[in-house]
């Protein structure tokens, strides 16, 4: 990290799109990053250590904080607000569903935004912890006051300079795309990403040999790039 961050203010989330990384974030008002490691073992080790450290620090935090969510009623169009008690385990996706009753949301999807006085509204992707965001702002606004008690201040007031707002997602007209005759390259060999096979951007010798053979003999081999092997051909190949 290039800045000091309280462990109690972190949030962690898995990232299905990354094989060796996970999401990590902290308030400012809300930043989330994908952090990647060289191996899955390293990722799992860091995930386990951070989860344990976070759980230990959260036991020292106020168990709940009252968060005010502002939104526009989808039926009447009037501006409404709802104050909800939020614990440290609730993420921004859960808060959005609680704030706006699903049977009143109609067919419109909503995104929860966090906004403070120093920055533009920041869309939340669903893994952030509003409990962390609000307590961080409360600490920041009260740290100059000598002898302040976070638990007492959390029970007495809701920070006015941090706003959580639900906004409807804008519908984007579907873009007509031309017919694609070829699929996008997957950058994988037998399902394994090239990034895991290559060392210093160099393929293993065995793969280089395979590619060299394909380059030399492939153009003269009928059907090698145009059709799959038949079941009979596969059986004969195995028997050899």
Q: What is the pLDDT, as a whole number, of residue 36?
A: 93
What's the mean pLDDT in 91-106? 75
The confidence band for 181, taking pLDDT boundaries of 50, 70 and 90, is very low
* Topology of domain 65-168, CATH: Ubiquitin-like (UB roll) (3.10.20)
Q: What are phi and psi of 136, to 5 degrees?
A: -65, -40
Q: How does pLDDT run across 184-221, given as a tens digit for each residue?
A: 566 777 667 777 778 887 888 888 888 888 888 777 77
What's the mean pLDDT in 107-117? 81
Instruction: From 81, 72, 160, 162, select the one nearest 108 (Cα to Cα).
Output: 72
Contacts for 158 with CB less than 8 Å, ≥ 6 apart: 66, 67, 68, 83, 134
The confidence band for 103, taking pLDDT boundaries of 50, 70 and 90, is very low
For the four alpha carbons of 72, 74, 76 and 82, in that order, the dihedral sign comes to negative
Token pair in block for residue 208: 């280089």
Q: What is the pLDDT, as a whole number, of residue 76?
A: 80
- 72 Cα distance to chain centroid: 26
Every domain of the chain with CATH number 3.10.20.90 lies at: 65-168
Q: What is the pLDDT, as a whole number, of residue 217?
A: 79
Q: What is the pLDDT, as a whole number, of residue 141?
A: 75
The confidence band for 139, taking pLDDT boundaries of 50, 70 and 90, is confident
Task: Order the strands of the 162-168 sheet from edge to edge.
Answer: 79-86, 65-72, 162-168, 110-116, 122-123
Q: How does pLDDT run across 4-50, given as a tens digit for each residue?
A: 889 999 999 999 999 999 999 999 778 899 999 999 999 999 999 99
Q: What is the pLDDT, as a whole number, of residue 133?
A: 92
pLDDT, greater one: 128 or 179: 128
User: In angstroms, how far is the first alpha carbon of the chain from the final one?
Assistant: 56
Report the alpha-carbon angle 64-65-69, nearest 5: 130
Q: How does pLDDT run across 66-83, given as a tens digit for each residue?
A: 998 988 877 787 888 888
Q: How far apart are CA 57 and CA 80, in angstroms?
A: 34
Average pLDDT value over all residues in the chain: 80
Q: Is the per-residue pLDDT at 226 higher than 50?
A: yes
pLDDT, greater one: 59 or 176: 59
Q: Is the per-residue pLDDT at 182 higher than 60?
A: no
pLDDT, greater one: 105 or 232: 232
Q: Which H helix or E strand runs over 22?
A: strand 21-26
Q: How far apart are CA 24 and CA 10, in angstroms?
A: 7
């Amino acid at each position: 990290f290039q800045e000091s961050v309280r462990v109690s203010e972190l949030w962690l989330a898995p990232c299905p799109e990354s094989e060796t990384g996970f999401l990590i974030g902290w308030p400012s008002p809300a930043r989330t990053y994908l952090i990647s490691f060289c191996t899955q073992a390293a990722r799992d080790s860091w995930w386990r250590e951070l989860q344990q450290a976070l759980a230990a620090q959260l036991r020292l935090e106020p168990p709940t904080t009252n968060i005010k969510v502002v939104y526009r009623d989808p039926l009447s169009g009037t501006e409404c607000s709802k104050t909800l008690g939020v614990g440290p385990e609730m993420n921004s996706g859960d808060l959005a569903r609680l704030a706006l009753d699903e049977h009143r949301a109609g067919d419109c999807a909503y995104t929860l935004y966090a906004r403070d006085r120093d920055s533009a509204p920041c869309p939340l992707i669903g893994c952030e912890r509003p409990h962390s965001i609000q307590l961080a702002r409360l600490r920041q606004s009260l740290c100059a006051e000598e002898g302040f008690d976070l638990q007492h201040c959390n029970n007495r007031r809701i920070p006015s300079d941090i706003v959580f707002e639900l906004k409807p997602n804008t519908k984007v007209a579907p873009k007509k795309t031309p017919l694609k005759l070829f699929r996008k390259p997957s950058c994988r060999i037998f399902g394994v990403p090239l990034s895991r096979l290559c060392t210093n951007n160099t393929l293993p010798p065995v793969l280089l040999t395979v590619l060299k053979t394909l380059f030399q003999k492939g153009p003269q081999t009928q059907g090698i790039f145009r059709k799959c092997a038949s079941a009979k051909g596969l059986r004969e190949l195995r028997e050899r």
